[in-house]
Structure 1
Amino acid sequence: MPNGGRARAFVDLLTQRLSTGDANPVIATPPSQEQIRQIAKAQNATLVQYSIIYDDFQIQGKREWRESALYIWVIQPTGEIAFRQVDLKPLWQKHNASLASSIVGNQEFLAVRSRSSFGSTQPQPNLPTLHQLLIEPIASLLPKDPDARVIFIPQRSLFQVPFPALQDANGTYLIQKHTILTAPSIQVLDLTRQQRQKLVQKPTNGRGSDLVLGNPTMPSVSLSPGEPKQQLSPLPGAEAEAIAIAPLLNTQAITGAQGTKAAIVQKMPQASIIHLATHGLLDDVRGLRSAIAMAPSGSDDGLLTAEEIFDMKLQANLVVLSACNTGEGRITGDGVIGLSRALISAGVPSVIVSLWAVPDAPTSELMQSFYQNLQNNPDKAQALRQAMLTTMKTHPGPRNWAAFILIGESE
């Protein structure tokens, strides 16, 4: 199965981390079909792996590299594998569009401040929807039971697809039919499972209370190279969210000047659940430079980078990055994956991140609902699904509830 070089390098690194400390750690090779079947059975989920295939075409006498097809593999919990292929050529031949541009257009459409500013990227009414391209070809292979888990393994730009918000011809959202998770690759699913098993085996006496950070005093950052630093805008909604959630986790919210990078980094290794309601800075060029904003103190700049997280040893079973993007620049899968990969590598089996800057009020509602559901049912994917269905009633627009994705383990 095709897999990007970055995902491979990440899996190699993780496999080394998870090896028993031998001098020659096993380097991950692409999983065999048998291993893939085993992973689907172990996850007790339907896996959906996407791969965009490119080809070179003669266009007006010039050779151009264009999207040719979408390959989709569906692996049932029984281990059965089905394959579907979608022709992507009509997108650029007929509509002068691409799958990547449809995704970005769709995301901007959901995340924009006002629809009037949407301009030329507005999806044309005759353009096939993402549901038609990504879901319809495999709809008959997906489980009928809404509680059964579906794990999407998207490639490249597909990581930005808000799968919960994809709508069928009747206007039904995918989250209304399925319990949804995401993973950067099939191997990562195997690894997050190992991380979870390690946590289950650990004695809990060293575990501290849960950690909730909301709206720390913001650091100053230069949003593009060479520009003067400016302070990130405060997030009063994130503070309210943290204060509302903390009692559900039997802890005190850390806010404002208390939320220094030094203090939070000291608390992170003991915490069971880590909830960070603050700005995330996503670096799409080099995912490891992505960072989480905290209050600066002493000589540190207040930015906890993915690179620093990589070197931490965490025992949290869940990290939630809420309010997770500043809205600066285009979000690509790599920025989001950069932070989530780093957390997984540090030992966390389940990470929730957002694909765009979500409005304050609905996020606060969604998160409170998520933690309430989690108290009644330890299945994180089902808790997130129920929270989305609840938030949808008061804030029907998908931009209000569809941004959050659960990467890794459900339980």
Structure 2
Amino acid sequence: MSNRDRQLNKRRFLGFLFLCSLIFFTWLNHAPLMANIVTSQNTDISQQVEQGVKSYEAGDIWGAIETWQKALDAYKKANNAKNAAVVSENLARAYQQLGDTKEAIAFFNEAITYYSEAKDLRQVGRMLTDLAQTYNNQGQARKAISLLCSNKFDIKSDTKQPCESNSALQIALTNKDSRTEVAALGILGEALRLVGNYDLAIQYLEDAAKVKDSGYAILINNSLGNVHVNLGQLWYIRAKSAEQTNGNKAEEFQQNAIVNFTQAIKYFKISLELARKQNNSLSQLQALLNTIQVSYKSHDLNIIPNAAINSKIQEAISLIDRVPDSSTKAYGAIDLAMLPSDFKITSPITQCSKTGELGKLSNTEAIDILNKAIIVSKKIQNSRVESYTYGALGHFWECRGDELQALKYTQQALIAADQKLAAKDGLYLWEWQAGRILKKQNQEKESLEAYQRAFKILETIRSDIVTSTRDVQFDFRDVVQPLYRELAEFQLQQILQASVKSDSSKSGVSDALETIDSLKLAELQNYFGGDCIVNVLNPKRVDEIVDNNTAVLSSIIFDDKIALLLTLPPKVNQSGETLIYWVQADNKILQKSELQKQIKAFQKSLILGQGRPDGYDRTLAIQLYDLIIRPFVKDLKAAKIKTLVFVQDGFLRSIPMAALYDAKTQEYLIQQYAVGTTPSIRLTAPKSSDRHLEKALILGLTKAAIIDKQEFGALDYADKEIEAVKQVFPNSRFFIDTKFASETLRTELGNKNIFPIVHIVSHAQFGTIPEDTFIVTGNNSKLTINELEAALSNVRGQENALELLVLTACQTALGDDRATLGLAGVALQVGVKSAVASLWSVQDKSTALLVEEFYRNLKKPGMTKVEALRQAQIKMIKLTGEQSEFASPAFWSPFILIGNWV
């Protein structure tokens, strides 16, 4: 029975998705217990326990649960803690087998309580270890770490840490329980992998390997392989990011990816060889599937030849019938059946090959394997596994154009998933799938309803998905984001087809805005890999947040077009309508690729404009104004709008809206409106405050620096900018060059000093992922965004603190949507109300002029932040004489206000 209910030790929020998950076993024996029952007290009850064991072994899980529950009630009544502990443990295992994690956790906790009462500390340690693994399976790695070692465990540390006396690992060490020790170390390593601390994960897994005669060599090698897969994936993404931000590091990062992927393959090979020697078919299947998975993730690097991949696939197929019935067998069968022929597909359960090619397996092979998985799921009575199997069959037929078959199996998946919501994470997948299929059948009403149900379910579990394991974060664009975009497009199309005066249309606009904003929130959470952003959610609607002089222009990018939604303030929007417009040129919807091309050219012209005496060509600025702003000009004027807040999507985040040019009035947009930006309207609280701007913390770097072999040039006019800030705030504290370090920031803020403004004059790089996002400090060092957040968190909540963070020499990965997402979210992530940052580095004395004017404006009574920046930019536009070159938007437009614009 030890292999019976070994299952995938990976949260299944993306439902067994082969290319988004890594397969590995549980670490402890999950067989039901009988031997430890003390029979002298009541033979009848002990016979009930034995009958439950027999039912379990026969596959009658519900029968076993019913019998054990009666026995547990009797033991509780008799105050028999020892036997109650054993039966509670059995019940926990049974519910695990059924996929009911909530009940499993409850009974593991009961078992811990009763074993503690019986003073059986060894079993307490084992139950804590099992419970930790259960939390790991659900993606709650931090909870697992607290049970295994300490609730004060620093998950970002690079060194091992002491464990508390009541933790699973320490109990195992104290009781010399090597079996639990290696299991706890292994699960701790896996938990650290899930939170992204790969180096520390390797340390604990290597410690597990040192435990003599543990019998866990297969598992340890498997887990080490998983960590190196994640490392390889991380390095590969960093290599792609470096191609845009730091080209001389791209090759090095790619080589690191190859090294880690290769190391992962070696570990899986060792695991496979050991499994073969032990004739362990389940372990063999696991190692093969993991090897195949590496081949998909690293395919562009040509590490594993296609012939070798196909050989592993065929070997795995031949093993399926020999593997004991379990959820692992079923999931493994699904993974094999859904293997795509297209290596670019990262989510085979939601994507179909655009080439029309079949999967790696023939139709006959895939259907046969999926039918076997259904038989297994019914035999082990696991509705969760059953749901995923039917869902996979539904998607199989969806990709092959048979909507009737696809819908039939998808509906069966929904029925199975809804049993006690055991597969709530799968429920959103199958509702989404049903929506896609129904739409193809032109059943638009039913399709939209299915999409909306999927959206509501996803919203309840979104934080767990997008902030979970790093490998899931990597594939967010392919496995989560499309649902939001498809639903938003569907909603907008429905609105435009309906009467603009109908109640359903008004409701649809509100729903569409909610969908769009939820997408922006999900993207932010995914980028930063944390849930702290969620803590500042504003529950109000857009029209409830803005004042009477403010409008919000939201954009959303679809596959072939872009939508703009303008929300006007309540005084002119009493009907509750939002204006919707598809970006058009010459009365034809403009293709996404065409607009993206124009924006890149516009941005490039602005950057190059810094070095041109004649400034830049306004043609593109005029074209973009006509595409984005012109459709709403009459409405904005009628509403007497003064502030225009943008909630941009994708590549639109990289455009400095202030520089768009109205050829009719011969004005820049900033001359018409104060321009603000926020990554998500629900993450913004536009409240005016009684600002006491008396001083700032000024941090600066004037000298050239080298970070990760990347050269950052000297900021020749940084000293002038610093002096300008000091002129406005004479009571400021400043730390320049070698005195500017991450420790400086922590120390200054840690002393409870009140600095409403933190002004940083240094290169700030925003990359595709947070690892490539940092601020350059003195001594060729860097301040990561996580370190910045940790330092600023010291003064959160203090009165008049953290009004504004200013970064005046930023650099984003141009053309990279995620890099600009990081820039847009920096204020929210580090916990300040607003941020001023530049879309690219402006290395000139013009910055000092703009900054000084901005701060002087900000100190004026009643002046909002966004208006203070506007007035500073307008003053730059009007410069004459020797400073006239700075009138070009190349110098002032990159500076944007993020967050609270008031």
The TM-score normalised by the length of structure 2 is 0.36
Three-state SS of the structure 1 residue aligned to 2:522 is helix
CA distance in structure 1 between the aligned counterparts of 2:717 and 2:640, rounded to whole angstroms: 32
1:73 alignment partner in structure 2: 566
Task: Point out the structure with the larger helix share.
Answer: 2
Which residue does the alignment assign to 1:253? Answer: 734
Instruction: Tell me which moved more, 335-344 or 401-410.
Output: 335-344
What SS does the aligned partner of 2:531 have? helix
**For the residues of structure 2 that align with 1:44 and 1:124, how far apart are their CA atoms?**
28
Instruction: For 1:365, give the aligned amino acid.
Output: L
Structure 2 contact 566–580 (Cα < 8 Å) conserved: yes
Matched, 1:267 2:742: no
Partner of 1:13: 531
Q: Which structure 2 residues correspond to residues 340-355 of structure 1 after superposition, within 5 A?
A: 340-355=824-839
Quick one: structure 1 residues 186 and 16, their matched pair in 2 at CA, closer, same or farther if it must change by over 3 Å?
Answer: closer
What is the CA–CA distance in structure 2 between the aligned matches of 1:147 and 1:92, rounded to whole Å? 28
Higher relative contact order (CA 8 A, sep 6+): 1
Is the CA contact (8 Å cut-off) linking 1:243 and 1:252 kept in structure 2?
no
Alignment of 1:293 onto 2:776: yes
Show the counterpart of 1:86.
582
1:36 to 542, 549, 558: 542
Could you tell me how far apart the structure 2 residues matched to 1:10 and 1:242 are? 31
1:180 aligns to what SS in structure 2?
Answer: strand
Preserved contact between residue 517 and residue 680 of structure 2 (Cα < 8 Å): yes
Spell out, residue by residue over 1:223-251, the C-alpha distance to the aligned partner (whole angstroms, 9 max, x if none). xxxxxx15422212112211221131122
Shift of 1:349: 0.7
Q: Using the TM superposition, give the Cα deviation of residue 163 of structure 1 relative to its aligned residue in structure 2, in angstroms.
A: 1.0
**1:115–1:216 CA distance, 2 compared to 1 (3 A):** closer
Matches within 5 A, 1:165-244: 165-170=659-664, 171-190=666-685, 193=686, 209-215=695-701, 217-222=703-708, 229-244=709-724
Partner in structure 2 of residue 404 of structure 1:
895
**Partners of 1:217 and 1:124 in 2: CA distance:** 34
Local SS of the residue matching 1:278: strand
Give the Cα–Cα distance (whole angstroms) in 2 for the partners of residues 127 and 246 of structure 1: 35
Report the Cα distance in structure 1 between the residues aligned to 2:827 and 2:620, rounded to whole angstroms: 40
Q: 1:390 aligns with which of 875, 880, 883?
A: 875
Residue 278 to residue 84, structure 1, CA distance change in 2 (3 Å): same
- Per mean C-alpha deviation after superposition, the further-off stretch among 250-259 and 123-132 is 123-132
**Aligned-pair distance for 1:14?**
3.9
CA–CA separation in structure 1 for the residues paired with 2:738 and 2:545: 44
Give the total of aligned pairs: 360
Tell me: CA distance 1:357–1:348, structure 2 relative to 1, closer, same or farther (3 Å). Answer: same
1:147–1:74 Cα change, 3 Å: closer
How far the C-alpha of 1:132 sits from its partner, in A, is 1.0
Deviation at 1:360, TM superposition (A): 1.0
Distance in 2 between residues matched to 1:127 and 1:405, nearest whole Å = 17
Q: How far off its partner does 1:363 sit? A: 0.9
TM-score by length of 1: 0.76
1:97 shift after superposition: 5.4
CA contact (8 A) 2:555 2:649 kept: yes
| 1:42-101 CA distance string (max 9 Å, x none) | x862111111222xxxxxxxxxxxx22423232325354322222458799999952112
Is contact 1:214–1:241 with CA below 8 Å preserved after alignment?
no
Return the letter of the residue paired with 1:406: L
Q: State the Cα deviation string for residues 10-48 of structure 1 (Å, max 9, x = none).
A: 368245434xxxxxxxxx69x7xx72221224x862111
Q: What residue identity is the alignment partner of 2:645?
A: I
8 A Cα contact 2:552 2:646, kept in partner = yes
Give the alignment's Cα RMSD to 1 decimal.
Answer: 3.6
Which deviates more, 307-316 or 393-402? 307-316
- Give SS of 1:370's match: helix
* Structure 2, gaps ≥5 residues long: 1-512, 796-800, 880-885
The one-letter code sitting in structure 1 at the alignment partner of 2:543 is: R
Task: Give deviations 1:187-217, integer Å, cap 9, x for gaps.
Answer: 1224xx4xx68x879xx9xx99411122255
Match of 1:324, SS state, is strand
Structure 1 counterpart of 2:564, one-letter code = Y
Conserved in 2, the CA contact under 8 Å of 1:150 and 1:180? yes
What is the letter of the counterpart of residue 784 of structure 2? T
* CA displacement 1:110-141 (0-9 Å, x = unmatched): 1115569xxxxx99969981101110111122
Change in 2 beyond 3 A, CA 1:146/1:353: farther
**Residue type of the partner of 1:212?**
I
Superposition map of 1:41-120 within 5 A: 41=547, 45-54=550-559, 67-78=560-571, 80-88=576-584, 98-112=594-608, 114=611
Assess if the C-alpha contact under 8 Å between 1:243 and 1:253 holds in 2: no
Fraction of identical pairs, as percent: 23
SS of the aligned residue for 2:713 comes to: coil
Kept in 1, the 8 Å contact 2:770–2:785? The answer is yes
Q: Which residue of 2 aligns with 1:57?
A: none
Q: Does residue 380 of structure 1 match 2:865?
A: yes
Query: Residue 281 of structure 1 aligns with which residue?
Result: 765
AA of the residue aligned to 1:263? T
SS in 2 for 1:235: coil
Name the SS of the counterpart of 1:384 in structure 2: helix
Structure 2 contact 622–662 (Cα < 8 Å) conserved: no
Of 363-372 and 240-249, more deviation after overlay is shown by 240-249
What is the CA distance between 1:108 and its match in structure 2? 0.6
Give the CA deviation at 1:278: 0.7
Does residue 159 (structure 1) correspond to residue 650 (structure 2)? The answer is: no
How many angstroms apart in 2 are the aligned matches of 1:410 and 1:72?
A: 19
Measure the CA separation in 2 of the matches of 1:335 and 1:265. 26
Contact 1:218 1:295 in 2 (8 A): no
Give the equivalent residue in structure 2 for 1:363. Answer: 847
